[in-house]
């Protein structure tokens, strides 16, 4: 679990879609999967997850692209800012994971792991000591801690 203030606010670049989360995030991770990278146009995407009932949207309705059955990826219909990954969180029920840079103050949500590490863009090595997982953190093999380019043969 991640310590954060009771309420954290965020929204898209133009401000049409706003949201707030209440209580603790169940997890903050860097995701290297190709789908997240495509949706964001970024080499890696950092997500903070909440149960859907911890989240309140306001302003314009967010648009949702269904990237696979049961998985929604939301964005602002005016400015196009990619906002969320939304779907079934298993034991957690419906979940909404926000892209970290859409929070007004992302500093309060601190990542604890890398997910889908093998799918990362090879030139994007990461110099932190967080655990790197093969798939979603927690329910997939832990591959390594720390950077690949440590002078040793790569994984
Ligand atoms: Zn917008
Ligand atoms: Zn992903």
Q: Into how many domains does the chain fold? A: 1
Q: Phi/psi at 19 (nearest 5 deg)?
A: -150, 160
Q: What is the pLDDT of residues 18-41, one digit of tens each?
A: 999 999 999 999 999 999 999 999
What's the 114 CA to ligand 2 centre distance in angstroms? 10
Does residue 150 form part of some domain?
no
Q: Which ligand is nearest to the CA of 42?
A: 2
What's the 119 CA to ligand 2 centre distance in angstroms? 9
Does residue 151 form part of some domain?
no
State which residues form the domain around 98. Answer: 7-145
Asked if residues 35 and 67 have their Cβ atoms less than 8 Å apart, the reply is yes
Q: What is the pLDDT of residues 98-137, one digit of tens each?
A: 999 999 999 999 999 999 999 999 888 788 889 999 998 7
What's the 98 CA to ligand 1 centre distance in angstroms? 14
What is this structure's pTM? 0.87
Does residue 65 form part of some domain?
yes
Beta bridge partners of 144: 132
Q: Which two tokens stand for residue 35?
A: 């789908």
128: CATH: 3.90.1590.10
d(CA 22, CA 118): 33
Does residue 152 form part of some domain?
no
Q: What is the pLDDT of residues 54-97, one digit of tens each?
A: 999 999 999 999 999 999 999 999 999 999 999 999 999 999 99
């Amino acid at each position: 679990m991640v310590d954060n203030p009771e309420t954290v606010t965020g929204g898209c670049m133009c401000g049409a879609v706003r949201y707030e989360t209440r209580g603790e995030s169940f997890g903050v991770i860097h995701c290297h999967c190709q789908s997240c990278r495509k949706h964001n146009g970024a080499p890696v995407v950092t997500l903070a997850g909440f149960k859907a009932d911890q989240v309140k949207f306001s302003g314009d309705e967010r648009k949702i692209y269904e990237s696979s059955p049961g998985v929604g990826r939301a964005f602002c219909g005016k400015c196009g800012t990619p906002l969320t990954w939304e779907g079934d969180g298993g034991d957690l029920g419906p979940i909404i994971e926000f892209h970290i840079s859409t929070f007004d103050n992302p500093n309060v949500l601190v990542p604890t792991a890398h997910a889908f590490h093998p799918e990362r863009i090879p030139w994007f090595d990461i110099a932190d000591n967080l655990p790197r997982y093969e798939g979603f953190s927690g329910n997939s093999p832990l591959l390594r801690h720390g950077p690949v380019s440590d002078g040793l043969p790569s994984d």
